[in-house]
């Protein structure tokens, strides 16, 4: 294993879908989200540090829901200045529809991001060095 004297930054690693333990190798099998059916396919383990990616049967579902809601309301930031919101016309309705569209279109990335967040919450930096000890206990 390479020396980890230099610790890669947390957030860039998180958003580029890097391994939570060494922050060098990617977590997903496919770099792109296509094919969509496999966009959440994780590697069995990190090829650099050996951190197990599939050991947790997480789906990040709760985090995904939170992210989707967050994005939904973040859409206000561009929708409001550009189109304006008023209770007098249908603008609220259009906002809801366009927000839903944005959330749906970005869903593959949101799902990846929530899975990443879950991994990063669960697996700390340098975690892989301890995994053999942990696994030896049934």
Q: How far is the CB of 13 from Zn ion (least distance, A)?
A: 10
Query: What is the contact mask toward Zn ion in residues 32 to 71, using x (rule: CB under 5 A)?
Result: --------------x-xx-x--------------------
Closest CA to 69 of 92, 96, 40: 96
Q: Which residue's entry shows tokens 């383990």?
A: 45
Comparing CB distances to Zn ion, the nearer of 13 and 110 is 13
Question: In the window 8-37, what residues touch Zn ion (CB under 5 A)?
Answer: 19, 21-22
Question: In the window 113-132, what residues touch Zn ion (CB under 5 A)?
Answer: none
> Residue-wise over 9-22: b if at least 16 C-beta within 10 A, else e?
eeeebbeebbbbbb
Residues that contact Zn ion, how many (by CB under 5 A): 7
Q: How far is the CB of 127 from Zn ion (least distance, A)?
A: 9
Long-range contacts of 60-67 (CB under 8 A, 24+ apart): 60/111, 60/114, 60/115, 60/117, 60/118, 61/114, 63/114, 63/117, 63/118, 64/110, 64/111, 64/114, 66/114, 67/110, 67/113, 67/114, 67/117
User: Helix (H, G, I), strand (E, B), or coil: what is residue 138?
Assistant: coil
Query: What is the contact mask toward Zn ion in residues 72 to 111, using x (rule: CB under 5 A)?
Result: ----------------------------------------
Q: How far is the CB of 11 from Zn ion (least distance, A)?
A: 17
Q: How far is the CB of 48 from Zn ion (least distance, A)?
A: 5
Which positions lie near Zn ion, rule CB under 5 A? 19, 21-22, 46, 48-49, 51
């Amino acid at each position: 294993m390479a020396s980890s004297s230099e610790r890669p930054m947390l957030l860039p690693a998180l958003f580029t879908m890097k391994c939570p333990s060494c922050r060098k190798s990617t977590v997903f099998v496919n770099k792109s989200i296509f094919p969509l059916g496999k966009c959440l396919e994780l590697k069995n383990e990190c090829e650099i540090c050996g951190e197990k990616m599939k050991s947790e049967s997480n789906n990040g579902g709760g985090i995904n829901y939170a992210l989707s809601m967050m994005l939904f309301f973040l859409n206000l930031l561009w929708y409001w200045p550009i189109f304006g919101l008023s209770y007098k016309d249908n603008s609220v309705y259009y906002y809801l529809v366009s927000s839903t569209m944005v959330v749906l279109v970005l869903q593959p990335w949101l799902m990846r991001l929530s899975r990443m967040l879950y991994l990063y919450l669960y697996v700390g930096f340098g975690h892989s060095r301890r995994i053999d000890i942990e696994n030896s206990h049934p």
